[in-house]
Structure 1
Amino acid sequence: MTSRSRKRVSEVSDNFVVDDEAHLNKKSRTNASHLLNSTGPRTPHGIYTRKEDSNGDSYWEISKMRRITISSFRGKTMVNIREYYEKDGEELPGKKGISLPIDQFSALLTLLPDIESALQEKGVSIPRPDYVELSANFDGNGGEKDLTDEPSGARPSRLNIEATSDEDESEE
Structure 2
Amino acid sequence: KRKKEMSSKSEKKLKTEAKPSKVTERTLGRGSEEEGMFQIGKMRYVRVSCFKGKVLVDIREFYTDKEGDMKPGRKGIALSAEQWNQLKEIIPEIDAAVKKL
Q: TM-score range by the shorter chain?
A: 0.7 to 0.9
- Residue 52 of structure 1 pairs with residue 23 of structure 2: no
Shift of the alpha carbon at 1:106?
A: 0.4
- Residue number among 93, 99, 112 corresponding to 2:91 in the alignment: 112
1:104 alignment partner, SS class = helix
**How does the TM-score come out when normalised to structure 1?**
0.43
Write the distance in 2 (CA, Å) between the matches of 1:53 and 1:102: 22
- In structure 1, the gaps of 5 or more residues are 1-43, 123-172
Instruction: Tell me which protein shows more helix as a share of its residues.
Output: 1
Aligned Cα root-mean-square deviation (Å):
1.3
- The one-letter amino acid of 2:97's match is A
Cα deviations by residue, 1:95-154 (Å, 9 ceiling, x for unpaired): 1100000000000001101001111111xxxxxxxxxxxxxxxxxxxxxxxxxxxxxxxx
Cα deviations by residue, 1:61-107 (Å, 9 ceiling, x for unpaired): 11111100001100101000001010111000011100000000000
Count of residues in Structure 1 that have an aligned counterpart in Structure 2: 78
Write the distance in 2 (CA, Å) between the matches of 1:64 and 1:121: 27
Structure exhibiting the larger radius of gyration computed from Cα positions? 1
Instruction: Tell me which protein shows more strand as a share of its residues.
Output: 2
Higher relative contact order, structure no. (Cα contacts within 8 Å, ≥ 6 residues apart): 2
